[in-house]
Amino acid sequence: MTSVMETYKRLGIAPVEGRGSWLIDERGDRYLDFIAGIATNSLGHGHPALVEAVKEQAEKLIHCSNLYRVPLQEEVARMLTEATDFDRVFFCNSGTESVEAAIKLARRHAYRTAGPEKHEILTFTGSFHGRTYGGLTATAQPALHEGFAPMVGGFVHAPYGDLEAARSMVGPRTAAVLVEPIQGESGVNEPPEGFLAGLRELCDEHEALLIFDEVQTGVGRTGHLYAYQGVGVVPDVVTSAKGLGGGVPVGAVLAREEHAAALTPGSHGSTFGGNPLAMAAARAVLGVVREPSFLEEVRTKGAILKNGLRELAARVPGAQVRGRGLLLGLELGPELAPEVFRRCLREKVLVNLVGGKTLRMAPPLTVSRTEVRYALCTFRGGVEALMEAAPAEAVVA
Ligand SMILES: *Cc1c(COP(=O)(O)O)cnc(C)c1O
């Protein structure tokens, strides 16, 4: 029995230590961590640059509040703006908080330029934007809304990837379109070619802000500092969190000057947001991840993993590989996926089962090529063992 609220379906494993891409549990068993705190431990576990930064800052100053200037915030904001198309950063503590801030920024910008009628936010089915009321309302998954009504007003939802549906829902009332460049939580879904560029055009046409929720895809995850940089569509606002602090809670919203100006002093804030400890962690992470050679290596390791998964998928009818960089999904169907997942767990390789039919992989960005191959061997072994047990006609030789 535990006194912790039962808000999670947890596995029995209890990791208490980590080294690089490996977690060590209470019993001393080692696991290859191919989910990395859900795309959060970007530098793996115990990375010396991050550990030193946090230790040193903890000794100096942990927190001081936003009543004062926080030089480390200015430094991290500069690192982020220099490496992207944005001019200003707001710091918070989580993904859902970064989504809240982006929604508030978009609505206030629309209010100041066009008036209160322009307040609608368009989001997409299968999305995930967090658990607070704004983020939850934006999350177009009815199952997650159950029992929590009424939701926040002024949100509309279109099918992910359906540009025509989006077109019919964007108009003069639209303040913003909020979209994940790759949907993480609902199974690593990539939009069809041209969808994000089409949303960019729609937003330009109706003077709505295009917000990319890059809480999962950001900070090097797709082999670019932010995924938009690999897609070639520049949004107006980007939300960031998960990998940004390498495990220390940090969230951020990136915007251009003309939009950021909508959040005037006193209109938004956070007690913990951007505190020195969090900023020291983000500075250490960005110091490593923003290096072009590091990002190139993420793309290379991502390609090795994706090619291996594709070879595997070619042997399973209906199987699919999706994603970019080191955010990949292997869809194996509702029968095979849970079995392979359980086998991986027995073999001590940690992945995540999403939607009951897809294995999601998000290893540390620092994972070695050897560890990638080791994981691939485990996935292959799992699929082969289960296919042998299955009827012969299910196997495409
Ligand atoms: C995880 C996630 C969130 C929520 O982040 P929290 O830190 O759990 O609040 C929001 N958006 C996306 C795209 C995510 O993947």
How far apart are alpha carbons 361 and 232 in whole angstroms? 24
Give pLDDT, residue 308. Answer: 98
| Confidence class for position 396, pLDDT limits 50, 70, 90 | very low
Cβ burial of 167 (10 Å; 0-12, 13-18, 19+) is: middle
Residue range 321-338: mean pLDDT, rounded: 97
Instruction: For ligand 1, say whether the CB of 22 is within 6 Å of any of its atoms.
Output: no
| Confidence class for position 341, pLDDT limits 50, 70, 90 | very high
Instruction: For ligand 1, say whether the CB of 215 is within 6 Å of any of its atoms.
Output: yes
Question: 240 C-alpha to center of ligand 1: Å?
Answer: 9
Mutate which of 100, 215, 221, 360 to test ligand 1's pocket (most atoms within 8 Å of Cβ)?
215
**């940089």: which residue's tokens?**
229
> What's the distance, Cα to Cα, between the start and end of the chain in Å?
48
Annotated catalytic residue 213? yes
**CA dihedral of 25, 37, 189, 126, whole degrees rounded to 10:** 100
Give pLDDT, residue 306. Answer: 98
Cβ burial of 134 (10 Å; 0-12, 13-18, 19+) is: buried
Each residue's pLDDT tens digit, 43-67: 999 999 999 999 999 999 999 999 9
Q: Is residue 389 predicted with pLDDT exceeding 90?
A: no
| Confidence class for position 391, pLDDT limits 50, 70, 90 | low
Each residue's pLDDT tens digit, 66-101: 999 999 999 999 999 999 999 999 999 999 999 999
Mean pLDDT of the chain: 96
Which of 279, 297, 301, 280 lies closest to 289, judged by CA? 297
Instruction: For ligand 1, say whether the CB of 188 is within 6 Å of any of its atoms.
Output: no
Each residue's pLDDT tens digit, 187-219: 999 999 999 999 999 999 999 999 999 999 999
Q: Is residue 301 predicted with pLDDT exceeding 60?
A: yes
As a three-state string, the secondary structure of 48-103 is HHHHHHHHHHHHHCCCCCCCCCCHHHHHHHHHHHHCCCCCEEEEECCHHHHHHHHH
Give pLDDT, residue 231. Answer: 96
Give pLDDT, residue 397. Answer: 40
Q: Are 199 and 210 in contact (CB under 8 A)?
A: yes
Give pLDDT, residue 196. Answer: 98
Give pLDDT, residue 324. Answer: 98
Question: 184 C-alpha to center of ligand 1: Å?
Answer: 9
Give pLDDT, residue 390. Answer: 64
Task: Determine which one of 34, 86, 155, 213 is catalytic.
Answer: 213
Question: 387 C-alpha to center of ligand 1: Å?
Answer: 35
CATH 3.40.50.1820 fits 15-33+293-389, yes or no: no
Residue range 268-273: mean pLDDT, rounded: 98
Question: 330 C-alpha to center of ligand 1: Å?
Answer: 21
Each residue's pLDDT tens digit, 375-385: 999 999 988 88
Give pLDDT, residue 173. Answer: 98
Annotated catalytic residue 33? no
Residue range 173-199: mean pLDDT, rounded: 97
Mutate which of 42, 97, 185, 188 to test ligand 1's pocket (most atoms within 8 Å of Cβ)?
185
Could you check whether 15-33+293-389 and 48-290 share the same CATH topology?
no
Every domain of the chain and the residues it spans: 15-33+293-389, 48-290
Which of 145, 106, 45, 74 lies closest to 239, judged by CA? 106
Instruction: For ligand 1, say whether the CB of 94 is within 6 Å of any of its atoms.
Output: yes
Give pLDDT, residue 228. Answer: 98
Task: Determine which one of 33, 86, 155, 242 is catalytic.
Answer: 242
Annotated catalytic residue 128? yes
| 48-290 CATH fold | Aspartate Aminotransferase; domain 2 (3.40.640)
The half-sphere exposure of 335 on its side-chain side, counting CA atoms within 13 A, is: 11
Percent of the chain with pLDDT over 90: 95
